[in-house]
Structure 1
């Protein structure tokens, strides 16, 4: 497969499609969604355009596929952004028209269950963007995190290199989206701790691939959007992060081990591991429990990488995925991991 190419960027004043390729949560929890739409208009100068399934809970895979086709086929739509994730986007993939999407390539922004669409676009020859959903990042209480806002602006409107920076302050604890009081105050944050580097004695530059680890596991099980010629991934930069479901260290290790047994894990020259989510409404961990969850996950990742890719450069706690701030990373685009300088640069 030839390398994916970057689609044309939108400009302020353009129309941007807002889709729900997974869950129609905007219809159930409108407060963060409406706030995200307002910020698209006022802070980015873009005009959001909704589709029939955008606010529809329980929409069928065909309805969601129809929305994706309509958004990509419309020449007046200059970019596409997901409202939020979910857990069944994999059922939409077989319904998509790859030639239609390839012929009408445009930037797509999403993450979590949208790993499905990111991988699909990658295999369609289109660079997409991991991050920046309407409800979570644009609809953040108080204000968008400055690092998220800056990264999204650069990814939306500019081309060329952009240096990622460790979070100065970050947060893990969420508040109730159904409560209007949630959105009137800035969330509590904690001081940043920087990134942790392993095998940082070299510079790696390559195209990125990966996404949410749980979703990648599903794609591997269904044998969808994974290249059968694994040399496709040689020398690339692997992006991995885990969701708010907070998979155990054992599950993380087993997924990576199975990627290694397939001959996939060892193809990558570097791994960027997103800061893990360590708190949820179902598991409201205190600081000690949260730190233990993160530490256990790091050890699980290290154990698998030592077994299958011992020479790969690894950077832990990178600010992408299910975290805040959330930096946008091009999916299929160029990522430079400079170990000696402790710098990560992406190409938007």
Structure 2
């Protein structure tokens, strides 16, 4: 990856944008957040979403999903590509993608979670993409977009330039069920934000970003989808975990395994998203959520102390599986200013 990343041209209000399901066709089972997301794209962002054959097709093959991606990127009337949601099947899609085709028709791609596979694929072909901004989760948030999320999305989609990440004053915790219309009649429950936690913050680090969802990165490593570790030297590592809520021990083990590969020491700085600490299977109260996040942070610090003791780390950043969510350029430049406690991304 070049130290001078290439940013695809940005869409403008009135443009057509592709809405795809490169992993799980969530709109087929959960139309309510999807249709809300489409409506907000049209009415609040002035964009015209365009569906493709597999956007709502459950069980679409990797070849079919790859064909939709190729079609969206090569269509000259499409100016950006947005994922509907994540999933768990995208790792099987990657072998069917034409990297040169996507590079030569580069467009901004937005997605996260299982879309880490595609973000990484675009990264290794020199295309800056965007970690965040899925249609069902961010655009389809019940009640309204969070103001921090909306500001970040607008800057990443339309404006470009530098953008300082802000700390949220309030964060959403519990989720409503997507199949229940009552979920979308009010804002999600929230609690006061607790700010970020800085570790080894005596320096300023700047580099292009790489990373994504930690569980998916671990799958990618098992599938031998990572480059030689030297390819990541000097990058800012961006990590977050999913609604499956891996324990602090699991986080340590996944990071330890990447450390044994020699990967962790390549990154002078790492940003950890605020861990999702509530699910329908684990409806943690406020104290349990705080304990879970502290355990996960301890697991990560244990791995960093062993494999990357000089790395600057920032925890509980508003990125990934969290609300509000701020978009992170994937392969774009990030400056982590420890003394000023400031994170600046370039959209």
Pairwise same-fold verdict (TM > 0.5) = yes
Q: Distance in 2 between matches of 1:118 and 1:29?
A: 24
Q: Distance in 1 between matches of 2:84 and 2:266?
A: 33
Q: Secondary structure at the match of 1:235?
A: coil
Deviation at 1:127, TM superposition (A): 0.3
Q: Distance in 1 between matches of 2:105 and 2:18?
A: 13
Deviation at 1:99, TM superposition (A): 1.2
Q: Distance in 2 between matches of 1:159 and 1:182?
A: 33
Question: 1:101 maps to what in 2?
Answer: 102
Q: Distance in 2 between matches of 1:198 and 1:36?
A: 37
Question: 2:203 maps to what in 1?
Answer: 202
Question: 1:24 maps to what in 2?
Answer: 25
Asked whether 1:323 is paired with 2:322, we answer yes
Query: Which stretch has the larger CA shift, 135-144 or 181-190?
Result: 181-190
Q: Distance in 1 between matches of 2:2 and 2:284?
A: 45
Q: TM-score, normalised by structure 2?
A: 0.98
Asked whether 1:141 is paired with 2:175, we answer no
Deviation at 1:185, TM superposition (A): 0.8
Q: Secondary structure at the match of 1:167?
A: coil
Q: Distance in 1 between matches of 2:284 and 2:194?
A: 19
Deviation at 1:298, TM superposition (A): 0.4
- The answer for unaligned runs of 5 or more in structure 1 is none
Q: Could you list the per-position Cα deviations for residues 30-55 of structure 1 after superposition, in whole angstroms to 9, with x for gaps in the alignment?
A: 00000000000111100000000001
Deviation at 1:178, TM superposition (A): 0.7
Question: 2:220 maps to what in 1?
Answer: 219
- The answer for unaligned runs of 5 or more in structure 2 is none
Deviation at 1:288, TM superposition (A): 2.2
Q: Secondary structure at the match of 1:5?
A: coil
Question: 2:278 maps to what in 1?
Answer: 279
Asked whether 1:132 is paired with 2:133, we answer yes
Q: Distance in 2 between matches of 1:308 and 1:186?
A: 41
Query: Which stretch has the larger CA shift, 54-63 or 31-40?
Result: 54-63
Q: What is the 5 A alignment of 1:123-272? A: 123-224=124-225, 226-228=226-228, 230-272=229-271
Q: Say whether the 8 Å CA contact 2:213–2:242 is kept in structure 1.
A: yes
Q: TM-score, normalised by structure 1?
A: 0.98
Deviation at 1:285, TM superposition (A): 1.3
Q: Say whether the 8 Å CA contact 2:70–2:101 is kept in structure 1.
A: yes
Q: Distance in 2 between matches of 1:108 and 1:196?
A: 29
Question: 1:9 maps to what in 2?
Answer: 10
Asked whether 1:34 is paired with 2:35, we answer yes
* Structure 1 moving runs of 4+ over 4 Å: none
Q: Distance in 1 between matches of 2:193 and 2:249?
A: 27
Deviation at 1:249, TM superposition (A): 1.3
Q: Distance in 2 between matches of 1:127 and 1:335?
A: 12
Q: Secondary structure at the match of 2:299?
A: helix
Deviation at 1:2, TM superposition (A): 3.1
Q: Distance in 2 between matches of 1:186 and 1:293?
A: 24
Asked whether 1:289 is paired with 2:281, we answer no
Q: Distance in 2 between matches of 1:65 and 1:297?
A: 35
Deviation at 1:220, TM superposition (A): 0.5
Q: Distance in 2 between matches of 1:134 and 1:233?
A: 30
Q: Distance in 2 between matches of 1:297 and 1:252?
A: 7
Q: Say whether the 8 Å CA contact 2:175–2:189 is kept in structure 1.
A: no
Question: 1:300 maps to what in 2?
Answer: 299
Q: Distance in 2 between matches of 1:279 and 1:63?
A: 34
Q: Distance in 2 between matches of 1:287 and 1:9?
A: 40
Q: Could you list the per-position Cα deviations for residues 198-229 of structure 1 after superposition, in whole angstroms to 9, with x for gaps in the alignment?
A: 111110001000000000000000011x222x
Deviation at 1:73, TM superposition (A): 0.8
Q: Say whether the 8 Å CA contact 2:173–2:188 is kept in structure 1.
A: no
Question: 1:338 maps to what in 2?
Answer: 337
